[in-house]
Amino acid sequence: AKGLLWSLNAVYAFTKNYGIAIIVITTLLKVVIYPLTRKSHQSMRDMQKLKEPLEELKEKYRDDPQKLNKATMRLYKEHGVNPLSGCIVWLPQIPIFWAFFSVLREVIELRGAGFTLWINDLSVPDTLATLPIITANGIPIRILPLLMGAAMFFQQKLTGTPGADPRQSKIMSFMPIIFTFFFYGFPSGLVLYWLWNNLLTIGQQYIINKRGNDTVEKVEPKTTDREKERKRNTSGLQAKLRDVRKLRATATKRPSGRKRTKKKR
């Protein structure tokens, strides 16, 4: 938190606006962790390539979870895929988030520090207006959390992988709504950080998709030598059966002999 505060004060010395300082620091941090973001995206694409082989393994070992786990890990190892790589990009963002939360909640310099328009204090929620309904204090209307939820929704649409687990996709579709309610009472400076972070993620995702061309090649499941030998034997047996059927069909079509004709006297 001290390092983050020092960085914010350093940028504030030039911009004279803590909101702009938050945007600048967030951008620099996003550039630093961009390699992790790219690696995470590549991991998701690799997992998508293995979707069909994984489905075949689930069907093959549906009654034996232990063999399924071993076969799945063997498949990951054969293709150099780490299923946990997609979570790496979140690891550095957790301490950054809590550092922003601590700074905006405890540092005196940020109290009363405005940003722009209706955001006149980054240490409190950005209440634009209040609807005098339901409660005595009314319902506050806060724009930044709503914009953040919309950005998260668009980010999910951009980063979603075709053919993903429907149950997981359904759960993830509720995350923008959950985060919007979760951030609704947070300081506007913290919401500004997360909103700008999501917008930068959308931009990075667009660049990665553009360069990667987003074409996913299907990976055929590898077969063992025993399976290959069994397939060869099966194909050879099938060929012999086809030859026998042809010979039988030819024999039934062949005439048994010439018809005798009576000579005219």
Confidence at residue 54, expressed as pLDDT on a 0 to 100 scale:
76
Chain CA centroid to CA 174, Å: 14
| Domain range summary for the chain, segments of one domain joined by + | 2-33+92-212
Question: Of 139, 135, 138, 106, nearest to 123 (Cα)?
Answer: 106
Confidence at residue 160, expressed as pLDDT on a 0 to 100 scale:
60
Confidence at residue 220, expressed as pLDDT on a 0 to 100 scale:
46
Helix axes 18-32, 2-15, angle to 10 degrees: 120
Residues 6+ apart with CB under 8 A from 130: 137, 138, 139, 140, 141
Which residues are registered as beta bridge partners of 101? Answer: none
> pLDDT under 50 in the chain at which residues?
162-163, 214-224, 258-259, 261-265
Confidence at residue 232, expressed as pLDDT on a 0 to 100 scale:
55
Question: Of 182, 194, 188, nearest to 110 (Cα)?
Answer: 188
